[in-house]
Structure 1
Amino acid sequence: MGLMTFLRNRAGFILIGAIGLAIVAFLVGDAINAGKPFWNASQKVVGEIDGHEVSIDEFGPKVDQSLQQFKQQYGGSANAQMTAMAVENVWNNEVATVLLGKEFERLGLTVTSTELFDLLQGKNPSPLIRQYFGNPQTGQVDRNAIISSLKARSKDANLNKQWSMLEEEVRKQALQQKYQNLVRTSVYVTNLEAADDFTNRNKLASFKYVSLDYATIPDKDVKLTDADYNDYYNANKKRFENPTETRSFQYVNFSFKPSKEDTAASRAQINKLAADFKAAANDSLFAAINSDVKIPYSYMTRGKLDPTVDSAVFSLPAGTFYGPAFSGNSYKLAKVVATKQSPDSVKAAHILINPAKVGGNDKAVKLADSLKSLVQKGSSFAELARQYSEDGSKEQGGDLGTFARGAMVPEFENAAFDGKAGDLKVVTSQFGVHLIKIEKQIGSAKVVKIAYVEKNLSPSDKTQQEAYKKASNFLAEVSGNTFSKVAQKRGLTVGVADKIAGSQGFAPGLDNPRKLIQDAYEADRGDVLPEIYTMSDGYVVALLTEVRPKGTLPLEAVKKDIEPLVRNEVKGKMLTERFEKAGAGKATLEALAQKLGRAVQPIQNIVFSNPVIPGVAQENKVVGAVFGMQPGKVSGPIAGDRGVYAVSPLTFSNPAPGDPAQQKLTLLPGLAQRALSGAFMALQDKADIKDNRVKFY
């Protein structure tokens, strides 16, 4: 596939630098998070990364390109979640580019002109060059196509621009590979580490235990003190590092889902529409005017429609009317216009002629007809494509590879699938005039052409107005102190969105929360947000309940979260006293179990690296204690995650000696990746990053 075709099909994928950042994907991870101090930022600054300002003028187009990429990848139209993904993708890319760029410069990493030449057209082509100019079947790179395209760049400004961006991405990728290699060669696995890891994964332990679950003490019998909270907080302070500012809010959703009256009115409307559809003289025009969901009026394969509709129309003969049928949240109507057998896929090549460059569409068609005659007389289609085609596939002689229905515009698709192998077809589409050569048709399956109408079940204006009035009255009445009380009085459900980051495109129970989140980041704790926010199914009023700044959270901010853990720690002390009074560590395990009124439980073949007690829980402390004891000994009380235990090892089964060299090779990739991730996290922690995205998206 040619460079221009690749870029066109992927909607500017390379413009956001996403292809060339293989290393960044696992370096960045969740490490890139920063606070949101935006009050002093200028109107156009999306963020500042170690002194480098990111302007919305440069950031915005990259987000648009990333969004187009996600739309192509996932299908459908853009939504809040997809936009948030695009924004996050571009921001992570910006942070990585700046921080890694500075690190490359500090380390003296460069790509020489000789190296760049070799990566572009030498014996060691970049993965990007292989992707653009490689044969998918053989993996071989077409160097003649590369050289031809490089020569053509001087005469084609657009191609020259694409090559410049490609060269920059190849250079970036090469620098990243050098950095990756540098970090990887700085780490190694010792013989002792290899031996320990092998033992931890393969040495088997069998033991028996007696336990008392924390649940044996009712929560009401445990009175927690400030000292209990402080002890737990101080012992686990690292757990309370907040990598990015978050905010929490409560909300009430005033639903405007269709009422019974709305449903009845919609049913009457769809029945009338069905009668009109049956009588319509122009099926495709009727569908285009009346359907909420547009599908092409062309032959389609199975699996393109709602499953119920799909199954029905593919079993019906031409001329049949289907519906109205209700599924999801919409009514469906369909006229089966025609059915036939058609190829599953087609292999074709084409020459694209731009009418604007040859004096209009008529002259473009005449030129295509002339080229068709030359091919029929024995001229090379590939050579003519290289000479006359305006598409990037010209570098491959016009070859488009193999494609299924739905991959091309309708005019092109119809010609390719309705013809037969060896045909030459001249067609006009939105891109220009095509001379198509059908090289091969593969497989055969039933296809149908249908006129399709889908009408969503929507709330009436009256239903929406009533919901908005309720939301307005609620907003006017509540304050930060009365939000929950008023909601409860009115029988309203209060939803909770907890720990929402400024860049998030989603929140629990809300499908379009971006404006709400933006306002939450402008508000103070306890504020009722100033607007009524529109979701797909209702109007929302919200209250900001918590602000968690970046950094170590204070005890008061996490007190509610850690309460169950603090309670279990206190229960652990209470149960430990019971174990000690029963003689834990002194008596046999059976005698201890009898005094505690518990049964001894046997466990077979546990390994250190997977410390799960079957049917109970993952108990790291308990299994760790087992592997540190001698068979027959009885432990003291061990406070675990589920309860307090006493254990006694029965037997240990040591594995046969492993291959140390092989074990090192097994461990090294994971160690190297952790080192790379750690190196980037260190760069990010050291950098001064100001993230103002919430102002713009």
Structure 2
Amino acid sequence: MRNSTASILWILIFSFGILWVLADTQVFDALTVGPRSLGSVNGEAISLNEYNQRVNFYTEQYQQRTGGSVNPEMRATYENQAWEDLVAAELIQQKMNEIGITVTDNELLEMVTGENPAPFIRQQFQAEDGTIDRIALRAAIESPENSEAWIQVEQQLRDTRRQEKMSSYISSGLKVNSLEVRNEYIKENSYANIRYLRFPYADIPAEEITATEEELRAYYQDNQDRFERAETYRFRYVSWDKTPTAQDTTNIVNEVADLGRAFANAQDDSLFLDRYGSTVDYTGAYVPADEIREEYQPVVDLDVGEVSDVVMINGDPHVFKKVDQRGNEIKFGVLSYPVVADPIATIDRLAEQASEFEFYASSEGFMQEAERRELEVQEGTASKGSSFIPGIGQSQSTLRILESLSEDEISEPIETNNFFLVVQMIQKTPEGPRPFPEVRSQVETLVINEKRKNMMLERVQEMYQNNSGLEAIATASDKEIQEVQDLRMAATRIPDAGREVGVIGEIFDMEQGDLSEPIPGENGVYVIEVTELSEADPANITDTQRQQIQSRLEQQKFMAFNQVFLDQLKAEADIVDNRREMLQ
């Protein structure tokens, strides 16, 4: 060491020099700041601002529609939807660029000043006689103070036109031909009357069927695609219940009682209830006293203008005001608030407890900290893409955290509608076929069901060969013949028999008066007699019907293709999701 001192000093001097230069370039700030965007799609950034705007749009729409606030789970759902929307929009934009879908300046000019302008322009500048006010339009275009607004309008019009072109591009390959229209018309307008015998597979007792281990393993090997699973998560968690405390209930009751006194003096009852956010809307209608619901009966004994004491209904406090009385009819208002956990005294306290637990569990150990705090540790499982989690319920926020955790990692506190949770990932299992031991009982059920179907088909075939006609088979099997009138070819269910698409297809391959051989269906084996068959004549289709069928089929094709198209784009894309780092 002593002999190497000079060399070490020079290395240190050189290293400090590099660090000094790097500090001047703020490279360390760049390294510590984390991701600069919410994510990216094939290298194109998705900004946090775009994401927040989309989430805010959804939450505002919800509040306008319901009048209520967005709970944690609803917000998590909207956040996930906003992300999916932005990813899809970027993928579509990139695909349009790839195939060269553009909007020229001349097209844009036509959308603004042409004979048939875009709907937005028509909406803004339409005169009373339905024509476009060209003078007002020209003035708006030439006005200097509108220059920034017109840039945004033009961009929006350009984007809309590109999307229309993209839809047309896709639709052009999804045209419905005349044969498809003809076949759909026949399916919708062909009917049959039938008599049938049904032999449910369940009539064969399970104890009559055995399956060997070799049969089970062979079935598993041949049908592994039936046992595919999504990525799954096994985790442990502790929770803090957000149920309102007794003090929370007392506070809400006192608040309603205090407002009840102001309610008695209100001049405009509808405005009062709306202003203070009563959960019961004011109708202003007169209701006969004997038709007032039982819980609201206290209003009957009040004087006009009087307000009742607090009445608890389904755990929530209510006060009633008799607004007016006309003979036996009463007009009244109801002031009520739901009992919820206090956002500060209860919710903030629980959130703080969850945060403290997460902090110490990350350093001391999850199980050790749970034991120290005497918290019950529970285990759960979840699957990617399924927001219902046994033991927790519907929770998009919990699923999103689970998808991002690595094994043994502890999450930050998760707020659901009913709990605060802190979870620790135990095991992540990638997607793929479930191991045979895990699905053995399921395989056994499937094998037994297959054997049951084959056994029932053999029995019915034997009865069919030994008896002539539906009545004879019914007598031999001690079954009752069932009848169905006007069974449509496009139907998917046979009345009293369940979903049987394949069997219905077989019926319409028969001739009137025919008796079928045994037909294996989804739920049983059928022997069917067609007593009447009315097959539609495609020559009778009208132009209106043809257009309606073609439009519906094209729409169905378009919707189905769009989903497959988008799924394919996602599968091929490099999608980076930084939401956990950016939003935590």
8 Å CA contact 1:585–1:637 kept in 2: the answer is: no
- Structure 2 residue runs of 5 or longer lacking an equivalent are 1-33, 286-291, 325-330, 368-374
Q: CA RMSD in A?
A: 5.4
Corresponding position: 1:501 with 2:385: yes
CA distance in 2, matches of 1:558, 1:121: 66
Which stretch shows the higher mean deviation, 90-99 or 622-631?
A: 90-99
CA shift in 2, pair 1:448/1:621, >3 Å:
closer
Offset of 1:532 from its aligned partner? 7.0
Secondary structure at 1:166's aligned position in 2?
helix
| Residue of 392, 395, 399 corresponding to 1:517 | 399
Counterpart mapping for 1:565-580 below 5 A: 567-580=448-461
Contact 1:252 1:540 in 2 (8 A): yes
Change (3 A) 1:544 1:257: same
Q: Give distance in 2, aligned partners of 1:278 and 1:191.
A: 72
Q: Is contact 1:47-1:689 (8 Å) kept? A: no
Superposed CA deviations along residues 507-554 of structure 1, whole A, max 9, x for unmatched, are 6775884553343224468x796677554545557687986756x655
1:258 Cα shift? 5.3
Identity of aligned residues (%): 22
Q: CA deviation at 1:616?
A: 1.9
Amino acid at match of 1:667: I
Q: Using a 3 Å threshold, how does the CA distance of structure 1 residues 584 and 203 change in structure 2: closer, same or farther? A: farther
Q: 1:212-269 deviations in whole A, cap 9, x for unaligned?
A: 21332345655555645764885694x7777x7565879787756457xx28x95598
Structure 1 residues 152-180: Cα deviation after superposition (integer angstroms, max 9, x where no partner) = 4x33xxx5444323322211111122222
Moved more, 217-226 or 321-330: 217-226
Cα distance between partner residues in 1 of 2:566 and 2:258 = 67
**Whole-angstrom CA distance in 2 between matches of 1:95 and 1:246:** 24
Q: Residue 129 in 1 paired to residue 12 in 2?
A: no
Distance in 1, matches of 2:467 and 2:120, equals 68
Q: CA deviation at 1:661?
A: 4.9
Per the alignment, do residues 185 and 273 of structure 1 end up closer, same or farther by CA in structure 2, a change over 3 Å counting? closer
Give the helix-richer structure, 1 or 2: 2
Q: Which SS does the other structure have where 1:76 is aligned?
A: coil
Structure 2: distance between partners of 1:603 and 1:324 = 58
- Does residue 326 (structure 1) correspond to residue 296 (structure 2)? The answer is no
Contact 1:511 1:535 in 2 (8 A): no
2:276 corresponds to 1:295: yes
Match of 1:593?
A: 474
Structure 2 match to 1:671: 553
Counterpart contact for 1:208–1:648, Cα < 8 Å: yes
Is 2:568 aligned against 1:681?
Answer: no
Q: How does 1:242-257 map to 2 (within 5 A)?
A: 255=241, 257=243
- Alignment-mate amino acid for residue 626 of structure 1: I
Call closer, same or farther: CA 1:536–1:103 in 2, change over 3 Å: closer
**Residue in 2 aligned with 1:456?**
339
Q: Does 1:174 align with 2:197?
A: no
For residues 328-379 of structure 1, the C-alpha deviation after alignment (integer angstroms, 9 at most, x for no partner) is 553245889x99xxxxxxxxxxxxxxxxxxxxxxxxxxxxxxxxxxxxxxxx
Secondary structure in structure 2 of the residue aligned to 1:125: coil
Shift of 1:107: 3.5
Output one character per residue of 1:49-92: Cα deviation in whole Å (capped at 9) or x when no partner. Answer: 24434243543444334433443344322333442443344334
Q: How far is 1:184 from its partner?
A: 2.9
Output aligned runs, 1:458-477, within 5 Å.
458=341
- One-letter amino acid of the counterpart of residue 215, structure 1: A
CA distance in 2, matches of 1:221, 1:47: 58
1:209 matched to 2:196? The reply is yes
| TM-score, normalised with respect to structure 1 | 0.57
CA contact (8 A) 2:273 2:282 kept: no
The DSSP-based 3-state class of the residue aligned with 1:120 is: helix
CA shift, 1:555, in A, is 6.7
| 3-state SS, counterpart of residue 46 of structure 2 | strand
The answer to whether the 8 Å contact 2:234/2:379 transfers is no
Contact 1:66 1:89 in 2 (8 A): no
Alignment of 1:402-481 (within 5 A): 454=337, 456=339, 458=341
CA contact (8 A) 1:207 1:649 kept: yes
C-alpha distance in 1, partners of 2:260/2:544?
A: 71
Query: 1:612-691, aligned counterparts within 5 Å?
Result: 612-656=493-537, 657-659=539-541, 661-677=543-559, 678=561, 681-682=564-565, 684-686=567-569, 687-690=572-575
Q: Which residue of 1 aligns with 2:78?
A: 86
TM-score (structure 2 length as normaliser): 0.67
CA distance in 1, matches of 2:174, 2:66: 39
For residues 269 and 662 of structure 1, the distance between their equivalents in structure 2, rounded to whole angstroms, comes to 61
Q: Structure 1 residues 694, 248: closer, same or farther in 2, change over 3 A?
A: farther
C-alpha distance in structure 1 between counterparts of 2:132 and 2:300, whole Å: 43
Q: Which moved more, 1:684-693 or 1:244-253?
A: 244-253
Q: In 2, distance between residues paired with 1:303 and 1:169?
A: 45
Local SS of the residue matching 2:64:
helix
2:540 aligns to what SS in structure 1? coil
Letter in 1 for 2:179: L
In the alignment, structure 1 segments of 5+ residues that lack a partner are 1-41, 285-290, 340-446, 480-486
Q: CA deviation at 1:619?
A: 0.5
The yes-or-no answer on 1:102 pairing with 2:83 is: no
2:109 aligned partner: 117
8 Å contact from structure 1 (residues 619, 641) kept in 2:
yes
Q: Distance in 1 between matches of 2:393 and 2:492?
A: 40
1:192 aligned onto 2:179: yes
Does the 8 Å contact 2:366/2:424 carry over to 1? no
What is the CA–CA distance in structure 2 between the aligned matches of 1:648 and 1:102, rounded to whole Å? 57
